[in-house]
Amino acid sequence: MSGRFTWFDLMTGDPAAASDWYAQHMAWGTQAWDGPMAYTMFTQGDETFGGAMQLPEEAAKMGAPPHWLGYVGVADVDGAVARAGELGGRVMRPGTDIPGVGRFAILADPEGAVFAVFRSTGGDDGQAKVLAWCELAAEDPDAVWPFYEGLLGWRKTDAMDMGDMGTYQMFGVEGSMGGMMRRVPGMPVSAWTYYFRTDDTHSRTATLVDAGATLIMGPREVPGGDFISVLTDPQGAVLAVHSPKPA
């Protein structure tokens, strides 16, 4: 079982425009998927890590905005679906095969934060190299933690006192790969944010804002000396970037 985020789908209103925007301003490569639906894959270096697709009509009708959906590798998708229900989660889409690719399901944790589980036809997948960090903002992180621990085998690692904002709890499979925190007041829903690697957060943020992104936070230094920014792309999907501490 992987327990790591292995793939990311951008679900948006105009996938063609979004693919062009990310290719130009995040310096990602793109390639068309040779499959039964319109889907453009994203690459960085030698890694294919995700793609852009049309936001499903049923999701849009339920009020879902454009968003990034992360896929966590699991050994048994249908077993994970059953276990998610036992742990208080919801099934947004049951186990579904992608011929020649693998099987996936879309789930929501007890507070409604949505993510997917995935099993590749090739077996266990490691964490996508493009992902620097993942972060869950929850109404009550302590209450949802047992769901992720029981479903994905995550373990708590370090923790950081954030004063009035509570504790920032880091987690992972082998070492830290992400964190959980109490969502900021005014944030409408519990949700996942994915931080994609870039060489320089400051210059990348300026490029993205000049190209029509809206800055939410940053550039900001985080403990350890790395830098992050959180933005929304021109269609409204939250996009976060991360660069390592300058040499």
127 vs 1: which has the higher pLDDT: 127
176 vs 140: which has the higher pLDDT: 140
Average pLDDT of the segment spanning 119-135: 86
Instruction: Say what the pTM is.
Output: 0.94
Q: Of 1-10, 56-65, 231-240, which has the strongest mean pLDDT?
A: 231-240
Distance of CA 13 to the CA centre of its chain: 18
CA dist., res. 162 & res. 115, Å (int) = 26
pLDDT of residue 185: 67
pLDDT of residue 237: 96
Residue type at 24 in one-letter notation: Q
Average pLDDT of the segment spanning 33-58: 89
pLDDT of residue 186: 62
pLDDT digits (tens, 9 = 90+) for 77-99: 999 999 999 999 999 999 999 98
The domains of the chain, with CATH numbers, are 1-194 (3.10.180.10)
Least confident span in 9-18, 103-112, 160-169, 228-237 = 160-169
pLDDT of residue 124: 63
Average pLDDT of the segment spanning 209-235: 95
pLDDT category of residue 2 using cuts at 50, 70 and 90? confident
* Percentage with pLDDT > 90 across the chain: 77
207 vs 160: which has the higher pLDDT: 207
